[in-house]
């Protein structure tokens, strides 16, 4: 492990930590002997016998949302942008690790996140392609230790940071069509590149250390879990009844929280495991990666279709003279252009998605107190049921109640991106507490307001009910139109990338003349086709609740419960206890049963 050796303490009047004299007097280096990285970047940190692991500055000095420190708005934006890049479909390959080639990590120089199509880390370091920044005192300095972990230390320490000359600009690789895109560096501040060495199966490899703090990871995780699936929860509670629905929703949250922890334990066995697909490869081999790619594709496709349906249903409720199909065509015209934007812009726009979703929950709750009579009131409750009205209703409810907790495909990436991965479980606790409280509140509020008459989207029930303040109808409609606009391009992006790879359209700038024009036309056509496919499927399958039920029963049970249990029994077979093995088998068997019956009900009824 490359790390600085403790130096002598600095006394008043001595050269500052940014000066060359200070480096000469106080910093010694342990030289790297990695043959792959003869010019490996050493990160000098001034240390004293009493300041190797000092307590980090008080949170009051650098509060969350301030314009300095590791939790500044710029760092939150950078972390959020990286998190959006994790939603990918990996191409079929024989590589055992998604982001490694010959023990060399691949990363995206635009986001500093691991990337399947990124550059080799050793090549970039050897060519000295990172622009060294002048060392200076920093409140968010970090130190590398022999275990590869790093902690915040006091202000007297400093870090030799390295960054790409265009860390957050999207050039030929970032722009989906070609040419340079806006960098947004005014909002996203440059993030230092910190390297660490890890040992995996007897080999030492160099990787980029995670950069996200615990609050940033919680924010990214909540953004993954809180989606449009919660809009169908009142209907799920109506299908299942109070006595089955409330325990079922609670059980789904509890089981998925524990299965997320199982994924975390699997990743702890090998630091080169970075994605859900890596875990599948270790467990099943190349076929496992193919399975995950297929499931991810279905999940993204279903998400894109549900967003189109939500957009059309919401606007049709406010403008019934225009048909739902016409609104879906309008959605295609509005949502296709953003597919040409680079990730850094899409990630910032997607912030409106979670803001609008939470805003809808708040608005619906307040609407319940503005109306004194049922339906649609929290003053006079609607008629509700304690038990399911029929067996098909109960089966459809299974998928609807499970759907809001399907974020496991992204959790491995979020853990890898953490500055302190050992805090991931604590982040999961906070994330699931926030998510469960939001989902349960939405389910109960919607069911009390509309009872058995609740629509497949709670927003549709509100928009079709008279008696609320007039502005609330426009507000809800605007919020519901914002969600698809901010989310659909991100859902389409991984699918578009697969087509680009299959047609070799990742980088068309190397072509000239007619060849360039042909590939540019093909690249544009791919983006139009994917968005058109969303709309066509949305027209063929217009029921929002059926789509959500399919995602919950057909995909979430498999990705969030069955596969994590199998991963854990296989990867951690040397440490798993007999009790844990039995519990895993119970989860696998019952989840498989519920998945089959729930998917069947979503398709047939």
Q: Which residues contact 485 (CB under 8 A, 6 or more apart)?
A: 334, 335, 338, 349, 352
Q: Cα 109 to the chain's mean position, in Å?
A: 19
DSSP notation for 44-113: -----TT-TTPPPPPTTTS-TT-SSSTTSHHHHHHHHHHHHHT---PPP-S-SSTTEETTEEEEETTTTE
Q: What pLDDT does 349 receive?
A: 84
- Domain assignment present for 318: yes
First vs last C-alpha separation in the chain: 59
Measured in degrees and rounded to the nearest 5, phi and psi for residue 371 equal: -120, 125
Q: Per the structure block, which two tokens stand in for 581? A: 């093995």
Q: Per the structure block, which two tokens stand in for 219? A: 């924010």
What is the β-pairing status of strands 4-5 and 28-29? antiparallel
Query: Average pLDDT for consecutive 10-residue bins of the chain (605 residues)?
Result: 37 40 34 38 40 44 55 74 75 64 66 65 57 38 36 31 32 34 41 66 72 90 91 95 96 96 93 88 88 91 94 92 95 92 83 89 94 92 93 94 92 90 94 95 96 93 93 93 90 88 77 81 93 96 93 94 96 94 96 96 88
- According to DSSP, residue 403 is labeled G
CA atoms of 372 and 426, how far apart (whole Å): 42
- Domain assignment present for 248: yes
**Can you list the alpha helix ranges (DSSP code H) found in 319-423?**
324-335, 343-349, 351-367, 391-402, 411-416
DSSP notation for 120-158: EHHHHHHTT-SEEPPP-B-TT-EEE-TTS-EEE--TT-B
Which H, E and C letters describe 112-123, residue by residue? CEECCCCEEHHH
In what helix (H) or strand (E) does residue 5 lie, and over which residues does it extend? strand 4-5
Whole-number CA gyration radius for the chain:
26
Least Cα distance to 507 among 520, 495, 518 occurs for 520
Residue 468 and residue 370 in contact, taking contact as beta carbons nearer than 8 Å: yes
Least Cα distance to 48 among 150, 124, 156 occurs for 156
Q: How many domains does the chain have?
A: 1
CA atoms of 292 and 280, how far apart (whole Å): 7
Tokens 């998400």 belong to residue: 303
Measured in degrees and rounded to the nearest 5, phi and psi for residue 152 equal: -70, 140
- Domain assignment present for 242: yes
Measured in degrees and rounded to the nearest 5, phi and psi for residue 492 equal: -75, -25
Q: What Å distances lie between residue 583 and 89, 436, 580, 588, 597, CA to CA?
A: 30, 23, 5, 9, 21
- Domain assignment present for 347: no
In what helix (H) or strand (E) does residue 195 lie, and over which residues does it extend? strand 195-200
- Domain assignment present for 167: no
Residue 99 and residue 198 in contact, taking contact as beta carbons nearer than 8 Å: no
- Domain assignment present for 561: yes
Dihedral sign (CA 436, 437, 438, 440): positive
Tokens 């049963």 belong to residue: 593
Measured in degrees and rounded to the nearest 5, phi and psi for residue 66 equal: -70, 175
- Domain assignment present for 374: no
Structural domain harbouring 226: 214-329+384-442+494-604
- Domain assignment present for 169: no
């Amino acid at each position: 492990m490359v790390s600085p050796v403790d130096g002598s303490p600095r006394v008043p009047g001595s050269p500052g930590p940014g000066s060359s004299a200070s480096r000469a007097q106080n910093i010694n280096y342990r030289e790297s002997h990695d043959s792959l990285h003869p010019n490996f970047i050493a990160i000098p940190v001034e240390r004293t016998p009493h300041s190797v692991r000092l307590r980090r500055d008080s949170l009051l000095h650098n509060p969350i949302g301030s314009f300095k420190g590791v939790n500044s708005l710029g760092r939150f934006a950078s972390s959020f942008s990286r998190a959006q890049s994790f939603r990918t479909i990996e191409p079929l390959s024989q590589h055992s690790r998604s982001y490694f080639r010959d023990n060399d990590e691949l990363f995206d120089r635009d986001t500093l996140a691991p990337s399947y199509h990124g550059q080799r880390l050793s090549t970039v370091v050897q060519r000295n392609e990172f622009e060294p920044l002048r060392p200076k005192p920093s409140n968010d300095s970090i130190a590398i230790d022999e275990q590869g972990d790093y902690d915040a230390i006091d202000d007297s320490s400093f870090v030799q940071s390295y960054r790409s000359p265009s860390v957050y600009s999207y050039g030929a690789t970032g722009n989906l069509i070609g040419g340079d895109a806006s960098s947004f560096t005014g909002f996203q501040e440059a993030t230092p590149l910190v390297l660490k060495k890890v040992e995996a199966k007897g080999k030492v490899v160099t990787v980029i250390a995670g950069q996200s703090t615990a609050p940033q990871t919680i924010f990214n995780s909540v953004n993954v879990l809180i989606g449009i699936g919660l809009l169908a929860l009142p209907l799920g509670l109506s299908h299942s009844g109070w006595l089955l629905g409330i325990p079922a929703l609670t059980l789904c949250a509890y089981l998925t929280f524990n299965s997320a922890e199982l994924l975390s334990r699997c990743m702890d066995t090998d630091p080169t495991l970075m994605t859900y697909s890596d875990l599948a490869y270790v467990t099943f081999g190349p076929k496992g990666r193919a399975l995950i790619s297929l499931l991810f594709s279905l999940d993204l496709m279903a998400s894109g279709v549900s967003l189109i349906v939500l957009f059309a249903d919401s606007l049709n409720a406010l403008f019934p003279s225009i048909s739902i199909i016409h609104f879906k065509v309008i959605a295609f015209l509005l949502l296709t252009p953003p597919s040409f934007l680079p990730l850094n812009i899409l990630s910032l726009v997607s912030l409106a998605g979670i803001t609008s979703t939470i805003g809808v929950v708040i608005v619906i709750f307040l609407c319940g107190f503005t109306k004194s009579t049922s339906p649609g009131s929290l003053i006079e409750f609607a008629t509700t049921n304690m038990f399911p009205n029929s067996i098909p209703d109960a089966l459809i409810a299974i998928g609807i109640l499970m759907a809001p907790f399907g974020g496991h495909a992204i959790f491995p990436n979020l853990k890898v991106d953490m500055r302190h991965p050992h805090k991931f479980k604590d982040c999961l606790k906070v994330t699931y507490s926030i998510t469960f409280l939001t989902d349960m509140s939405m389910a109960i509020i919607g069911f009390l307001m509309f009872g058995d008459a609740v629509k497949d989207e709670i927003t549709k029930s509100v928009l079709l009910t008279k008696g609320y303040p007039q502005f609330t109808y426009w507000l809800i409609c605007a919020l519901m139109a914002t969600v698809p606009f901010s989310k659909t391009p991100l859902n389409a992006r991984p699918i578009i990338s697969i087509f680009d790879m299959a047609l070799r359209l990742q980088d068309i700038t190397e072509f000239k003349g007619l060849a360039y024009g042909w590939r540019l036309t093909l690249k544009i056509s791919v983006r139009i086709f994917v968005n058109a496919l969303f709309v066509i499927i949305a027209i063929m399958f217009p029921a929002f609740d059926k789509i959500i039920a399919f995602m919950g029963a057909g995909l979430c049970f498999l990705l969030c419960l069955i596969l994590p249990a199998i991963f854990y029994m296989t990867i951690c077979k040397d440490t798993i206890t007999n009790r844990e093995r039995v519990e895993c088998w119970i989860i696998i068997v019952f989840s498989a049963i519920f998945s089959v019956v729930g998917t069947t009900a979503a398709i047939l009824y």
